[in-house]
Amino acid sequence: MKVLVVNAGSSSIKYQVVDMTDESVLAVGLVDRVGIPGTTLDHSPMGKDKVTIKKDLPDHTAGMELVLQVLVNEEYGCIKSMDEIGAVGHRVVHGGEAFAASVVIDDEVKRVIKDCFEIAPLHNPPNMMGIEACQRLMPNVKHVAVFDTAFHQTMGPANFMYALPYDVYEKYRVRRYGFHGTSHFYVAHRAAEMLGKPYEECKIITLHLGNGASMAAIKDGKVIDTSMGFTPLEGLVMGTRSGDIDPAIVFFLMDKLGMNSSEANNYFNKKSGMLGLSGVSNDLRDILEAAGSGNERAKIALDVYYNKVKGYIGNYIAKLNGVDCLVFTAGVGENAIDIRENVCSNLDYLGIKMDVEKNKVRGKEVDVATADSKVRIFLIPTNEELVIARDTFGLAK
């Protein structure tokens, strides 16, 4: 079976075609600026040259129509006909409390996804647009929803509840959900293999560090805690998100800056984090360069970033009562040598010792801990699309 993996954003469609006989990727692509003038489709079939198509597309259905045309194109396609696609796997950001695993999409699943629009307004609506577009164009194959939140549903109340009046949980399901679940799932299982231990016997801390960033504490095959909460705003300092702050700051700044709730939401999600602190960029590469050139705000931003990650490492080691390994992944975690080194510095008391020479690597699966480190430090490139493809294949075959 070949599986089409779809990740629909508000104005984009990312896709992959995976041959499940050997899990090889046949093609990857991105439709950008859907519904906006200047739409482009970049399509990269394995073993062939990349193709770029410029064509304005009014909506996600039109975008998926073009994707399907490209997949079967005689010159640069990757399959001979759509009959080769046995199922479609869809990334869905929020599944609430309803789903602890991936599911075949039916009317009830779509209802739950829509019920989560209010708490995931930037992600679930476009995810649903991608699902409905694909279902219209491919009505005879199974469509599977793979949720970012599902992996974290093993958390107990001690870690998912907030200290708020209990009725807001009962009425509105206000609780910690966690995100980046497919990434944490993939690298945690790979880490267990690298440790040579059964996954169900490992204590693992995963660090998904990108423009959006989250961490997870995993023990005996279950997520004990994770840094993102009710929304992806909570937790680590991120590219444009503040992460953890005193909630009274929100009300204080709404008053001082004359912001309504929508403007405040945008302020803490889009104007804060490393961008707001440094005044340079939301991209850590730019901030590292600025700090190296003597920019004091960039230096402060990096110190705040490191301290927040270190704090979560200590927190999670306490909750796990020890740890077998740290796992760095995602764009920053996989490629930012200096970030990894600074995060792991001065953690010797916890048994965490990095080999700085081994750490001088990007995008490779490797252990960068010293030989005598009690805790292994793994760099594992994530593969969320493969997780989606595997789940889809398992449910559709």
Distance CA 312, CA 320 (A): 12
Collapsed DSSP state (helix, strand, coil) of residue 85: strand
Distance CA 285, CA 87 (A): 38
Catalytic residue among 42, 56, 115, 148: 148
Asked if 342 contacts 307 with a C-beta cutoff of 8 angstroms, the reply is no
Q: Mark 52-82 as b/e (b = at least 16 C-beta within 10 Å).
A: ebeeebeebbbbbebbbebbeeeebbbbeeb
Region of 279 on the Ramachandran plot (φ > 0 left; ψ -120 to 50 alpha; else beta): left
Distance CA 126, CA 64 (A): 13
Handedness of CA 186, 188, 193, 198 (dihedral sign): negative
Burial of 140 (0-12, 13-18, 19+ CB in 10 A): exposed
Alpha carbon of residue 44 to chain centroid: 22
Residue positions counted in the chain: 397
Q: Is 148 labeled as catalytic in the residue annotation?
A: yes
Hey, how many other C-beta atoms are within 10 angstroms of the C-beta on 152?
Answer: 28
Residue for token pair 């309504």? 260
* Residues taking part in catalysis: 148
